């Protein structure tokens, strides 16, 4: 029996019997989309391509503020805002921790002390607590906010807090952020790290219009309100400074905008109307003379100029070079080793003629603070001070200042395994596996074939190859080209390799009872080339002192005005240091130390890394003893896990995990 309150709703118009006479549903949806976009039939404007710029919080505010910029004019204070959205999946969280650590490094405040984090309410924010709250976040935002007149602020904290409060109002949510102010450059600026979560715990999505225009316009409003509109005198003084600068300026942007046609021609004939226009023309004429001296413009006739098509790119490179020279001056002055600009050089790893560079690390910093691109200032054995861009940082490769390092340029070259994989796949229907490899080449070992599988695993993460359910690999026809592209991208991220030759400075190596870098130089068949200037001279003096110490200790002797070293000098010094370290560890772990000799098998649990003068060693704990063997970077991903391997000279062929049997040669 039906109840009186039961009914079945029928969608549509009243008394309508369906939509058989109307258009299909898909057509009606498309019509509604066109109507909503305002570009349906009868509209004059063409349909715009969907960009997603209006998706997210602050879309409407961003559009309004971007239009306001057109009428603001020259009197508003200028603020530069740089933004980066960082994904935290995989290694992103470790990179985020490293980024926050670098923002708080020494020498970024006015008095040269470490930077201090702050937030909306606290003068000293807890960075670890902020990172803990961000565990599991999908992404985070990083901003650099740099008011042009930041030097006029006694403290940028008030400016930053008001900006973030305004952003909260625009985005309609509370924001979880920390910031730090940097005064270590000519332009004070603020780094803001914002969590990618809103106040409800959902992913924070900010509209592109707000990121590109809205945030900057809010910062401009605050700076203009704080310092007042720019006066005519301030504007003229700023433009006068730009006339002779060897970097890209606003005057250059005006000249490029005023150049007509594709040939870069600029017509300045005729007299402009008005005093302001005539003053602007005089500044442009002065700037053109400066660019003419730099070879970037030419006056083809009175009042007619030709601008080089490379004008902007060349001026930006010149500005970067000037900033690098200032960085070198500042680093060497801080280290008390200023020697004059003639000794400075910029190391270019992309140059085919670039050779490995050995020297003392003076400073490590951020060349691009937003994208975590690092640089080194290296006091080279060639007597010059080098600026080396090293790209993205490896948390396991943080070399201390004063350490002796070797920088080697990386080349985007295919690996030998790539050619082998391509050859095996070519003969087996674009498939590869260990079994196929061993059948194609019976002389190969399973351990050797596994190295090719590890290469394919790395390329799978890069989207080059796919693995089937049965363990075989599908190799694309353009495998070598795509693998080459992956190598080129890796070189772009990290253009050089940094090898730590010694974590100790020269002074501590002279009398160290361990195998030092000085000992390797003294016994090497191809020692580093030394110039009798700068750090090269210091190395020469340290080598002479170390030579005398070795003679005093009986590790070397003079014969006919020539120094003869013991054949096993490095091994003896290394064994002495290992014995001292093992004695200390034995007391801590309550286990005896067992030395591993060449050819012996190693089985145990990897505990940690030891940084000794002779090098880096892995502490492997066995059931009733422990041993110290040469360390490899791959081990740090397997702390507390079983490892095995065979000692082969000064290296170990590792196997990670007894059950899996993955060999690392």
pLDDT in tens, 340-350: 444 888 898 88
- Based on the domain organization, do 292 and 366 belong to the same domain? no
What pLDDT, on a 0 to 100 scale, did the predictor assign at position 41?
43
What pLDDT, on a 0 to 100 scale, did the predictor assign at position 220?
92
pLDDT grade for 183, boundaries at 50, 70 and 90: confident
pLDDT grade for 108, boundaries at 50, 70 and 90: confident
Give the DSSP H/E element, type plus range, for residue 558. strand 556-558
- Based on the domain organization, do 240 and 206 belong to the same domain? no
Find the mean pLDDT for residues 158-173. 94
What pLDDT, on a 0 to 100 scale, did the predictor assign at position 402?
85
Exposed e or buried b for every residue in 431-451, given b needs 16+ CB within 10 A? ebbbebbbeeeeebeeebbbb
Tell which residue, 270, 272, 255, 266, has the closest CA to residue 300. Answer: 266
Find the mean pLDDT for residues 481-490. 92
* In a domain? residue 528: no
pLDDT grade for 109, boundaries at 50, 70 and 90: confident
Q: Which residues pair with 602 in a beta bridge?
A: 645
Find the mean pLDDT for residues 399-427. 90
* In a domain? residue 559: no
Task: Confirm if 569 and 555 have CB atoms less than 8 A apart.
Answer: yes
Domain boundary at 278, 309, 340, which?
Answer: 309
Look at 478-487, 567-576, 636-645 and tell me which has the smallest mean pLDDT: 636-645
* Residue predicted with more confidence, 184 or 258: 258
| Average pLDDT over the chain, rounded to an integer | 84
- Judged against a pLDDT cut of 70, whether residue 235 lies above it is answered with yes
Domain count of the fold of the chain:
5
- Judged against a pLDDT cut of 60, whether residue 510 lies above it is answered with yes
User: What CA–CA distance (Å, rounded) separates 620 from 609?
Assistant: 9
SS (H, E, C) 564-598: EECCCHHHHHHHHHHHHHHHHHHHHHCCCECCCCC
Task: Confirm if 459 and 414 have CB atoms less than 8 A apart.
Answer: no
The residue to which tokens 């952020």 are assigned: 177
* In a domain? residue 547: no
- Based on the domain organization, do 218 and 100 belong to the same domain? yes
Give the DSSP H/E element, type plus range, for residue 79. strand 79-87
What pLDDT, on a 0 to 100 scale, did the predictor assign at position 163?
95
What pLDDT, on a 0 to 100 scale, did the predictor assign at position 485?
93
Instruction: Supply 231's token pair.
Output: 């006066």
- Based on the domain organization, do 198 and 80 belong to the same domain? yes
Task: Confirm if 529 and 382 have CB atoms less than 8 A apart.
Answer: yes
Look at 71-75, 269-273, 420-424, 571-575 and tell me which has the smallest mean pLDDT: 71-75
* In a domain? residue 653: yes
pLDDT digits (tens, 9 = 90+) for 349-368: 888 888 999 999 888 887 88
- Residue 644: which CATH number? 2.40.50
DSSP percent split of the chain into helix, strand, coil, nearest 5? 40, 20, 40
What pLDDT, on a 0 to 100 scale, did the predictor assign at position 664?
46
- Based on the domain organization, do 208 and 72 belong to the same domain? yes
pLDDT digits (tens, 9 = 90+) for 40-88: 444 444 455 555 566 788 888 888 887 765 545 568 888 999 999 988 8
pLDDT grade for 181, boundaries at 50, 70 and 90: very high
pLDDT grade for 615, boundaries at 50, 70 and 90: confident
* In a domain? residue 161: yes
pLDDT grade for 34, boundaries at 50, 70 and 90: low
What pLDDT, on a 0 to 100 scale, did the predictor assign at position 30?
65
SS (H, E, C) 278-337: HHHHHHHHHHHHHHHHCCCEEEEECCEEEECCCHHHHHHHHHHHHHHHHHHHHHHHHCCC
- Based on the domain organization, do 406 and 442 belong to the same domain? no
pLDDT digits (tens, 9 = 90+) for 134-154: 998 999 999 999 998 888 888
Tell which residue, 129, 125, 104, has the closest CA to residue 114. Answer: 104
- Residue 131: which CATH number? 3.30.930
Domain boundary at 385, 412, 439, which?
Answer: 412
What end-to-end distance do the CA atoms of the chain give, in Å?
A: 80
What pLDDT, on a 0 to 100 scale, did the predictor assign at position 44?
44
Domain boundary at 493, 510, 531, which?
Answer: 493
What pLDDT, on a 0 to 100 scale, did the predictor assign at position 659?
40
What pLDDT, on a 0 to 100 scale, did the predictor assign at position 29?
65
What pLDDT, on a 0 to 100 scale, did the predictor assign at position 646?
85
pLDDT grade for 218, boundaries at 50, 70 and 90: very high
Find the mean pLDDT for residues 447-467. 90
- Based on the domain organization, do 85 and 211 belong to the same domain? yes
- Based on the domain organization, do 171 and 130 belong to the same domain? yes
pLDDT digits (tens, 9 = 90+) for 294-339: 999 998 888 889 998 889 899 998 988 888 888 887 777 766 655 5
- Judged against a pLDDT cut of 60, whether residue 395 lies above it is answered with no
Find the mean pLDDT for residues 374-387. 90
Domain with 579 in it? 571-664
212 φ/ψ angles, rounded to the nearest 5 degrees:
-80, -35
Q: Which residues pair with 365 in a beta bridge?
A: 375
Find the mean pLDDT for residues 507-516. 91
Look at 9-13, 188-192, 227-231, 651-655 and tell me which has the smallest mean pLDDT: 9-13
User: What CA–CA distance (Å, rounded) separates 176 from 192?
Assistant: 10
Query: 278: Cβ–Cβ under 8 A, 6 or more apart, which residues?
Result: 271, 272
pLDDT grade for 213, boundaries at 50, 70 and 90: confident
pTM above 0.85, yes or no: no
* Residue predicted with more confidence, 144 or 9: 144
Distance of CA 315 to the CA centre of its chain: 24
What pLDDT, on a 0 to 100 scale, did the predictor assign at position 478?
92
* In a domain? residue 342: yes
Q: Categorise residue 21: left if φ over 0, alpha if ψ from -120 to 50, beta otherwise.
A: alpha
What pLDDT, on a 0 to 100 scale, did the predictor assign at position 55?
78
- Based on the domain organization, do 424 and 393 belong to the same domain? no
- Judged against a pLDDT cut of 70, whether residue 38 lies above it is answered with no
Instruction: Supply 606's token pair.
Output: 């990897």
* In a domain? residue 489: yes
- Based on the domain organization, do 332 and 430 belong to the same domain? no
* In a domain? residue 539: no
- Based on the domain organization, do 210 and 92 belong to the same domain? yes
- Based on the domain organization, do 124 and 261 belong to the same domain? no
* Residue predicted with more confidence, 258 or 418: 418
- Judged against a pLDDT cut of 90, whether residue 562 lies above it is answered with no
């Amino acid at each position: 029996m039906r109840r009186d309150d039961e009914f079945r709703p029928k969608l549509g118009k009243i008394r309508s019997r369906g939509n058989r006479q109307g258009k299909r549903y898909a057509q009606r949806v498309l019509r509604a989309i066109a109507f909503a976009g305002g570009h349906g039939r009868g509209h004059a404007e063409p349909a715009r391509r969907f960009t997603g710029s209006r998706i997210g919080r602050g879309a409407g505010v961003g559009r309004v503020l971007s239009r306001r910029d057109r009428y603001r004019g020259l009197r508003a204070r200028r603020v530069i805002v740089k933004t980066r959205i960082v994904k935290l999946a995989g290694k992103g969280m470790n990179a985020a921790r490293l980024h926050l650590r670098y923002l708080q490094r020494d020498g970024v405040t006015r008095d040269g002390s470490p930077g201090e984090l702050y937030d909306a309410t606290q003068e000293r924010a807890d960075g670890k607590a902020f990172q803990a709250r961000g565990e599991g976040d999908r992404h985070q935002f990083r901003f650099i906010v740099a008011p042009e007149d930041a030097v006029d602020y006694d403290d940028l904290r008030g400016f930053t807090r008001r900006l973030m409060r305004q952003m909260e109002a625009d985005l309609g949510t509370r924001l979880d952020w920390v910031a730090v102010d940097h005064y270590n450059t000519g332009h004070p600026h603020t780094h803001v790290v914002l969590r990618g979560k809103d106040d409800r715990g959902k992913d924070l999505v900010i509209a592109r219009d707000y990121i590109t225009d809205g945030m900057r316009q809010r910062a401009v409003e605050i700076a203009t309100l704080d310092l007042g509109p720019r006066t005519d005198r301030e504007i003229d003084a700023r433009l006068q400074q730009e006339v002779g600068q060897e970097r890209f300026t606003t005057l250059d942007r005006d000249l490029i905008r005023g150049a007509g046609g594709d040939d870069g021609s600029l017509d300045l004939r005729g007299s402009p109307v008005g005093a302001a226009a005539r003053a602007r023309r005089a500044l442009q004429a002065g700037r053109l003379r400066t660019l003419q001296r730099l070879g970037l413009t030419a006056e083809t006739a009175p009042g007619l100029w030709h601008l080089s098509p490379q004008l902007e790119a060349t001026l930006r490179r010149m500005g970067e070079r000037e900033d690098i020279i200032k960085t070198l001056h500042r680093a060497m002055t801080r280290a008390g080793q200023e020697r004059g600009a003639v000794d400075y050089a910029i190391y270019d790893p992309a140059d085919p003629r670039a050779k490995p560079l050995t020297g003392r690390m003076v400073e490590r910093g951020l060349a691009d603070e937003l994208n975590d691109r690092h640089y080194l200032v290296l006091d080279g054995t060639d007597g010059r001070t080098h600026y080396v861009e090293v790209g993205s940082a490896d948390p396991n490769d943080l070399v201390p200042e004063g350490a002796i390092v070797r920088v080697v340029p990386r080349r985007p070259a295919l690996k030998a395994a790539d050619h082998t994989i391509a050859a095996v796949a070519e003969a087996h229907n674009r498939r590869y596996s260990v079994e196929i490899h061993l059948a194609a080449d019976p002389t190969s070992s399973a351990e050797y074939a596994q190295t090719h599988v590890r290469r394919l695993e790395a390329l799978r993460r890069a989207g080059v190859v796919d693995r089937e359910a049965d363990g075989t690999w599908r190799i694309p026809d353009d495998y070598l080209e795509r693998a080459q592209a992956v190598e080129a991208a890796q070189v772009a991220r990290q253009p050089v390799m940094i090898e730590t030759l010694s974590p100790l400075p020269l002074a501590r190596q002279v009398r160290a009872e361990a195998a030092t870098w000085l000992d390797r130089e003294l016994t090497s068949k191809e020692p580093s080339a030394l110039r009798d200037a700068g750090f090269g001279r210091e190395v020469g003096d340290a080598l002479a002192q170390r030579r005398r110490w070795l003679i005093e200790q009986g590790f070397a002797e003079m014969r006919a005005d020539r120094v003869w070293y013991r054949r096993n000098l490095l091994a003896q010094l290394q064994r002495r240091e290992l014995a001292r370290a093992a004695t200390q560890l034995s007391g801590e772990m309550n286990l005896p130390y067992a030395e591993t000799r060449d050819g012996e098998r190693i089985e145990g649990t990897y505990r940690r890394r030891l940084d000794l003068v002779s090098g880096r060693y892995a502490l492997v704990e066995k059931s009733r003893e422990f041993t110290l063997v040469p360390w490899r970077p791959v081990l740090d991903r397997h702390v507390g896990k079983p490892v095995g391997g065979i000692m082969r000279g000064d290296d170990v062929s590792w196997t990670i995990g007894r059950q899996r049997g993955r060999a690392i040669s």
